[in-house]
Structure formats: C-alpha cells, structure tokens
C-alpha cells in the first residue's frame, strides 16, 4: 500500500489540552492499526505526556536561547520559533523518514507567536507542502459555557484559521470535567436551535449590535465542533471521522490494509 502522510496540526490557546490530546489521539490511531508520528513543535515544552518521535527541542531549546541571548521567556520563544526556520528542512526530512499514516504536530500555546506572526504559518506551510493537512483547534469546554465567551473563542479560532490557511476542525476539550447539566448547555450552544438574539438578555455587552453580528458570523462559519475528553476517550472517533471528511475525500485507512509499521 502507498502510505500518504496526513498532517494534523494541533493548535489552541495555552493550556487548552493540545499535548494531552496529541497523546490520546495518537494512541487511538495506533489502536486502530494505523501508524502515527508524534511531533513536539513547542521549543519551550517542559515535558510532554507522550514520547515525541520528532522533537524541535533537539534543534532549538528555549532555555538555551534564554541564557545565550539574555532573553525572557516570551522573547526567547519568539526567537526560538524564528530560529526553527534554519532547521525546518531537517525537521521535515526527519518526520517524513518515519513514513507513517498520520503526523500529529503539537504546537505551542502562544497563538500570538505561532499564528499571528509571519514565521508560524511559514513553518507549517513548509512542513505540510505536498501533503494533505488539517488544523485541529482546541477550546477548553469550560470557556464555552457562556455565549459571549464562546463567541470570543470561536473568533480566535477563525482568526487562526485565516492565518494558517488550513481547513479547521474544532474540538472542545476536557468535557469530562463538566457536569451533565453543563454538558447539555454546551452542546445546545452549537445547536441549530441556538439563537443569537438570546444574547440581548446579557447585560455585560457594551455593543450589542456588534455582538449579534459576530455571533451570526461564527455560527455560520463553524462546521465541526466536537466535545472531547482525553481522559475518557470521548470524541476521538468523531475527530478521526471529521479529519477523514476534511482530508480523505472518502479514503479511509480503517478500510485499507494496516500499514504494518506498528
């Protein structure tokens, strides 16, 4: 069988659960007899819940950059991500040498550095060039319990999608921490039934017209929103199905011969 590398770029704000989901999703993929390369793309990561197959820290480490150039953590992360440009070709070669079915790239949480500066999209475009790729944008479920907070997070996801130029799936993480009542509220937020007009009841909104327009925009632009838990495994099969829909054009490794590389 010809193995095609599919890239899943895991993005989201700090602490949204990227590394934990990278671990859970890669195990899920292996449990389904497909192979996966785990890439830690965070030069500032202290530790990861999975063992990276490819690790940008072996090329550039933020702690070294801090001490060498006398920078603080944010400045050093900006410099480190810039410096990755010099190594991206080697990183790509290292990833491709595994020749696995999927590559999961666990990104840093500082979106202002990895998505909104020029170099982040440049690195990811280089990495995924010639391959099918999808961004998986994570939002902490807890931040989607109020309509305004949800709209803010979805706007962030849309801004990130515009910067990265990739199709995007949204996963709501840590669903296991919600009570059943909260879970119902959360799912209803993304339901067809949810009406932006309900926002008018909120007293905290400075500009209600703007809030309503943004609400309509995010409602129209948000396609796949999947509640997940890395603890219980909830939503992992839905993420896989959504990735297939976006990337696979009907092609599905689950219905193909296993890679035999596990």
- CA-to-CA separations, 52 to 26, 55, 57, in angstroms, rounded: 11, 6, 10
* Window 130-169: contact mask with ligand GTP (x via CB under 6 A): ----------------------------------------
Check binding of 19 to ligand GTP (CB under 6 A). yes
Contact flags string 195-234 toward ligand GTP, x per CB under 6 A: ----------------------------------xxx---
Distances (CA, A) of 49 to 27, 46, 110, 150: 12, 10, 19, 27
Contacts of 213 (CB under 8 A, 6+ apart): none
| Sign of the Cα pseudo-torsion (15, 72, 157, 185, in order) | positive
Q: How many CA atoms lie within 13 A of 50 on its CB side?
A: 26
Q: Which of 5, 6, 11, 16 binds ligand GTP (CB under 6 A)?
A: 16
Question: Which residue among 91, 173, 240, 247 contacts ligand GTP (CB under 6 A)?
Answer: 173
Q: If DSSP codes are grouped into helix, strand and coil, which group holds residue 136?
A: strand
Cβ partners under 8 Å of residue 51, min gap 6: 38
Q: Does 74 bind ligand GTP (CB under 6 A)?
A: no
Whose Cβ is closer to ligand GTP: residue 141's or residue 150's? 141
Q: Which does 227 bind (CB under 5 to 8 A by kind): ligand GTP, Mg ion, none?
A: none
Cα separation, 50 vs 73, in Å, equals 23
Site string for ligand GTP, 107-126 (x = CB under 6 A): --x-----------------
Report the interface residues with ligand GTP, using CB under 6 A.
Answer: 12, 14-20, 42, 109, 173-174, 176-177, 229-231
């Amino acid at each position: 069988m010809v193995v095609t590398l599919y890239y899943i770029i895991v993005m989201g704000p700090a602490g949204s659960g990227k590394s934990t989901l990278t671990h859970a999703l890669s195990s899920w993929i292996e449990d389904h007899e497909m192979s996966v390369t785990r890439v830690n793309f965070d030069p500032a990561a202290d530790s990861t819940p999975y063992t990276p197959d490819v690790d940008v820290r072996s090329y550039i480490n933020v702690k070294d950059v801090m001490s060498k150039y006398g920078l603080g953590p944010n400045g050093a992360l900006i410099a480190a991500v810039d410096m990755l440009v010099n190594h991206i070709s080697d990183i790509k070669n290292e990833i491709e040498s595994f020749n696995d079915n999927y590559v999961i790239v666990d990104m840093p949480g500082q979106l202002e550095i990895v998505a909104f500066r020029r170099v982040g999209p440049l690195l990811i475009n280089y990495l995924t060039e010639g391959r099918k790729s999808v961004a998986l944008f994570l939002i902490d479920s807890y931040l989607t319990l109020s309509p305004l907070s949800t709209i803010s997070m979805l706007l962030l996801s849309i801004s990130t999608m515009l910067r990265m130029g990739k199709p995007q799936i949204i996963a709501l993480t840590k669903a296991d921490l919600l009570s059943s009542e909260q879970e119902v509220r959360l799912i209803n937020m993304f339901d067809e039934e949810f009406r932006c007009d309900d926002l008018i009841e909120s007293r905290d909104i400075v500009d209600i017209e703007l809030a309503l327009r943004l609400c309509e925009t995010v409602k129209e632009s948000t396609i796949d929103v999947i509640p997940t838990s890395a603890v219980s495994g909830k939503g992992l099969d839905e993420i896989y199905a959504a990735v297939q829909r976006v990337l696979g054009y009907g092609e599905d490794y689950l219905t193909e011969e296993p890679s035999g590389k596990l």
